[in-house]
């Protein structure tokens, strides 16, 4: 078990990079700052988010075990694979890293964001429907997508958490979830990835940052991770508690 300061800064650093590159991918897709219009699209979001996870996990895994996600931390603690005494430390580090990562993306793209009226590239929201015009998904579809997507992510973590190639598997899993389940709600899969950037977006006055939909990416990833933990426990003997 790493020391508390080492684990704390490992989670801050890893979540910072994860959110920095994820929000940066969204800003690239919206602002298209270098290439011709339409050159960036959904691939930038799905692959960019997956690669952001790869970077965050690689740099923080030796320091903290690379949870980088409150849903993951809570699910591991529920399975007694992680001590409950460390949970507040990890959650604080993850939300702090998420806010700093969003701030870093804003510092890089702020000029373009202000020029476009500060679109909300920081947090997730319901996707658009083709008809009627301007309509969006309700909460049900995004909630199901968040639950099942995080269940898939947590399943990979539990199945391969000791493997050296786990960062690559997680990157591919996040990209796959983005392609397969990202349409209804934007596949946050991580409360720290959504709530901390959402706070910055609210401070900047971005449209749609402060709304009740924030409950979906805050709660459903936790439920999905716990669901994966429940299925894992059905087939795996419980380990002794970790102190």
Would the CA dihedral through 34, 59, 155, 242 be positive or negative?
Answer: negative
pLDDT tens string 176-210:
999 999 989 989 999 999 999 999 999 999 988 88
The structural domains of the chain, ordered by start, are 4-235 (1.20.1080.10)
Amino acid 15: pLDDT: 98
Place of tokens 């679109």: 119
Amino acid 130: pLDDT: 73
CA distances from residue 162 to 149, 172, 241 in whole angstroms, order as listed: 21, 17, 18
Residues 6+ apart with CB under 8 A from 126: 136, 137, 138, 139, 141, 142, 184, 185, 213
Residue 162: band (very low, low, confident or very high) from pLDDT cuts 50, 70, 90: confident
């Amino acid at each position: 078990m790493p020391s508390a300061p080492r684990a704390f800064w490992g989670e801050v650093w890893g979540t910072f990079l994860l959110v920095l590159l994820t929000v940066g991918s969204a800003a690239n897709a919206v602002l298209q700052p270098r290439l011709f219009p339409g050159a960036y699209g959904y691939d930038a979001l799905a692959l960019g988010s997956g690669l952001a996870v790869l970077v965050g996990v690689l740099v923080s895994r030796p320091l903290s075990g690379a949870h980088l996600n409150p849903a993951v931390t809570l699910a591991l603690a529920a399975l007694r694979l992680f001590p409950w005494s460390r949970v507040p430390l990890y959650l604080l580090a993850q939300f702090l890293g998420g806010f700093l990562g969003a701030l870093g993306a804003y510092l890089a793209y702020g000029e373009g964001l202000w020029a476009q009226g500060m679109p909300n590239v920081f947090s997730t929201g319901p996707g658009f429907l083709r008809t009627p015009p301007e309509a969006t998904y309700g909460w049900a579809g995004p909630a199901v997508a968040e639950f099942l997507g995080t269940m898939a992510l947590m399943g990979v973590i539990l199945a391969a958490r000791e493997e050296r190639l786990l960062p690559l598997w997680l990157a591919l899993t996040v990209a796959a979830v983005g392609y397969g389940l990202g349409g209804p709600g934007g596949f946050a899969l991580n409360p720290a990835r959504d709530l901390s950037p959402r706070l910055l977006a609210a401070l900047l006055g971005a449209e749609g940052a402060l709304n009740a939909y924030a409950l979906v990416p805050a709660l459903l990833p936790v439920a999905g991770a716990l669901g994966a933990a429940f299925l894992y426990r059905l087939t795996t003997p419980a380990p002794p508690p970790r102190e």
